[in-house]
Chains A and B, each alone.
Chain A
Amino acid sequence: MKIILNDINLFHPEQKLNKKNTTVLLEDGVISKIGNLKPSDFEESEVFEFAGKYVVPGFFDMHVHLREPGREDEETVVTGCNAAANGGFTGVACMPNTQPAIDSAETIYLIKGHAKTHLVDVYPIAAATVGREGEVLSPMAELFEAGAVGFSDDGVAIKSASILRMVLEYSQMYDLPIIEHCEDQTLAGGAMNEGLNSTLLGLPAIPSVAEDLIVSRDIQMAEYTGGKVHIAHISTKNAVQLVREAKAKGFKVTAEVTPHHFSLIDDTVKTYDTNFKMNPPLRTQDDVDAIIEGLKDGTLDCIASDHAPHSIEEKEEEFQYAPNGILGLETEIGLTFSELFHKKILELKDIVEKLSINPRRILNIPVPKFNIGQEANFTILDTDVVWTVDVNKFKSKSKNSPFDKKLLTGRAIAVINNRKMFYNDEFITL
């Protein structure tokens, strides 16, 4: 099938491409022409009028929880991929804290098998240690061969410095990053950030230093071993500064931040609404300001959602007993454009880097190119559309979002990948 994306702005910072008001012809999902279309092309094709919309290399979320295997009641690979497509992503990397953990090649095959025919590419991140228990190295070589793009004990940091050292040394053979949930276990266990608000609310709290300590440990271990460390969902001011300094010294350290950590602070917990409960917890305005600065100066490489579906019954518990985490895939782009683009913190180029190019580079996944003959891997953006978040319209199987009913500006209106298009709430085979 031939389709035409008419009157679009083709934007690819890595290729230094910024073509305004051009037209792209796709044949069976492959880029066939950029500009110079003939009238006959229009006659033979389905034409999508996308005046003023940006076509950018497909967005990639390197931190999602697809809950399969184990908690298919909360999300499955397919529903998670549907949420990703609806949110404007063509690729995701899924975390290994499933049941069982992704610590065997079989589990990777299972996940990849379920995603095989989907528009969205799924790249599993495997557990760094067996069962994410921090005792024994996972079969990293075999996991790499099966398709793992990184290793993590996400949910917790790698338990001990000695195992972290092994993991960082072993993973270097495959040039894969260790993705760390930075939290000192002996300071963990609270329900929110420690500070004035936890004092006022009487909730057990997690101090920011719990994160800073492990970020610091991991950076030093990255230096010592030469391995790659990627700091997941950074949330504290000091952690941002530690990463900034590590980068200046040339260590192989990268970092991501979630939309909720750049857009919300711990004041929101005052409602005891469990949709504001996540780990790391929402921090203070000081931390958010430092994160914004880190996004601007490039200290923070990526934006990733930490998409964490939870069932309604689990989230409808007492605040301190409810599980951590919120949905992210379907509000991520809207929040990024509302909070960063329209507030003139990041330009479109920065956003494409942080949501498409950098996450793939960190995981050694090729960045989609806009060349004739290449399969199209596009996110199509309307940067100015104003829309209201409605959890009931989410494709995710869960509903736990603190952003329900929020007005956002900017979203993806379509994605194209694997010879499929998601547009107007439906998948089209190209």
Chain B
Amino acid sequence: MPLSSRHLLGLQGVPKEDIQLILDTANTFKEVLARPIKKVPTLQGKTIVNLFYESSTRTRISFELAEKRLSADTVNFSLSTSSVKKGESLKDTVKNIEAMKIDMIIIRHSAAGTPFYLTKICDANIINAGDGTHEHPTQALLDMYSIREKLGKIEGLKVCIVGDILHSRVALSNIFGLETMGVKVSVCGPSTMIPRQIEELGVDVIYNIDEAIQENDILNVLRIQLERNAGENFPSLREYAKYFGITKERLEKSGKEILILHPGPINRGVEISSEVADGSNQIILDQVTNGVAIRMAVLYLLGTLN
């Protein structure tokens, strides 16, 4: 059964069967990653462009490794959006890249909606690697995969996304994906970092982190995005850490087991203490490993669709 779309722009509206298929396919690739020779010829002859308009280390390397392990030809194109007003337009850049006969574009961009725009101007398969504060679907997929791997299921769990929901693209993709998979999602953070009308997405809003720990099976702890002016939304990092930071004391006080996810990179001592980040409840590095498997799955499913 193929995916229902030839692009992965976000998880809003993506059917459960598609998510299930991606997660199941990732299982196969996880097995490939455990082999001594971590390479399969699946996408041989396909050309994939990693078009990164915003700096990224983890996501770009993860995609690149996934592409290489599927034997695709890859090209990296990184440039800064600080100079959007200068030089070539996005449309011209994409048209030029397309003219070089490529099959897929992985795009990261600081402006929401850019991956959708690309589907209107070129024929390649488009994968969103993060657009502004909108979506980051492969991150949410790898989060779900990691949850399933650790707890054996997804449906029926309770997940709280903690921190800067307003400036996060991970939050929205997680909300859409997890809800589709039957998870009860809540968000917890300072009220200035909770987007308007988010309750209408079926999400509970919690302002007390201890309550969030108490009521959930999993915390997905987001990074405070200081580069997106998040600092304006609360008085100080000290106050943030004191009232919303995940610490060992807080977890111990709750007296319950809880699974901790973090999409990285971590601000140690801000949203999460070092003890927790390196502790036994977290699966932060598993997420990174699983990211490659998930991206291989997405690339494979989209790359072999047509």
* Contact surface of A with B, Cβ cutoff 8 Å: 194-196, 198-205, 271-272, 313, 316-321
Contact = CB atoms under 8 A, between A and B. Distances in A.
Given A199-B172, A271-B116, A317-B89, 4 more contacts: A203-B113, A272-B113, A272-B117, A321-B111
A215 to B, nearest CB: 21
Interface string B80-98: 0000110001110000000
B132 A313 contact: no
Nearest to A199: B195
A316 B121 CA distance: 10
27 contacts: A194-B196, A195-B197, A196-B197, A199-B172, A199-B195, A199-B197, A199-B198, A200-B12, A201-B113, A202-B112, A202-B113, A202-B131, A202-B132, A203-B113, A203-B132, A203-B133, A204-B133, A271-B116, A272-B116, A272-B117, A317-B89, A318-B90, A318-B109, A319-B111, A320-B111, A320-B113, A320-B132
Contacts of B68: none
A313 B84 CA distance: 13
B169 A202 contact: yes
A316 B114 CA distance: 11
Contacts of A272: 112-113, 116-117
A316 B134 contact: no
B196 A198 contact: yes
B227 interface: no
A203 B198 CA distance: 14
Given A318-B109, A318-B111, A319-B111, A202 B91 contact: no
> Most chain-A CB neighbours within 10 Å: which of B111, B169, B197, B198?
B111
B31 interface: no
Contacts of A202: 112-113, 131-135, 169, 172
B250 to A, nearest CB: 28
B134 A195 contact: no
Interface residues of B, number: 26
B215 to A, nearest CB: 23
Nearest to B135: A202
B200 interface: yes
A318 B114 contact: yes
B58 to A, nearest CB: 20
A204 B172 CA distance: 14
A316 B91 contact: yes
B89 A313 contact: yes
B196 A203 contact: no
Interface of B: 12, 84-85, 89-91, 109, 111-114, 116-117, 131-135, 169, 172, 195-198, 200-201
A318 B113 contact: yes
Contacts of A194: 196
A194 B91 CA distance: 27
B89 A316 contact: yes
Contacts, number: 65
A321 B89 CA distance: 11
Interface pairs A-B: 3 shortest CB-CB: A202-B134, A272-B113, A318-B111
Contact of A203 (B90, B91, B112, B117): B112
Contacts of B195: 198-199
A205 B112 CA distance: 12
Nearest to A321: B84
Contacts of A319: 111-113, 117
Contacts of A195: 196-197
A203 B112 CA distance: 6
A316 B117 CA distance: 10
A319 B85 CA distance: 13
A238 to B, nearest CB: 16
Given A194-B196, A272-B117, A321-B84, A201 B109 contact: no
Given A194-B196, A198-B196, A317 B134 contact: no
Contacts of B132: 202-203, 320
Nearest to B90: A318
B111 to A, nearest CB: 4
Contacts of B85: 321
> Most chain-B CB neighbours within 10 Å: which of A201, A203, A204, A318?
A318
B133 to A, nearest CB: 4
Nearest to A314: B89
Contact of B90 (A198, A199, A200, A317): A317
Contacts of B116: 271-272
> Most chain-B CB neighbours within 10 Å: which of A202, A203, A271, A316?
A202
A381 B195 CA distance: 47
Contacts of B12: 200
A318 B118 CA distance: 10
Contacts of B201: 199-200
A318 B196 contact: no
A321 B83 CA distance: 12
Contacts of B90: 317-318
Contacts of A318: 84, 90, 109, 111, 113-114, 117
B113 A196 contact: no
A134 to B, nearest CB: 23
Contacts of B197: 195-196, 199
Contacts of B131: 202
Contacts of A205: 196
A206 to B, nearest CB: 12
> Most chain-B CB neighbours within 10 Å: which of A203, A271, A272?
A272
A287 to B, nearest CB: 15
Contacts of A204: 133
A201 B196 CA distance: 12
B165 to A, nearest CB: 9
A65 to B, nearest CB: 21
Contacts of B117: 272, 318-319
A271 B117 CA distance: 9
Nearest to A318: B111
A201 B112 contact: yes
A318 B89 CA distance: 9
A321 B197 CA distance: 25
Contacts of A203: 112-113, 132-134
Contacts of B133: 202-204
B289 to A, nearest CB: 27
A415 to B, nearest CB: 37
A302 B133 CA distance: 38
B22 to A, nearest CB: 21
A205 B169 CA distance: 15
> Most chain-A CB neighbours within 10 Å: which of B89, B112, B132?
B112
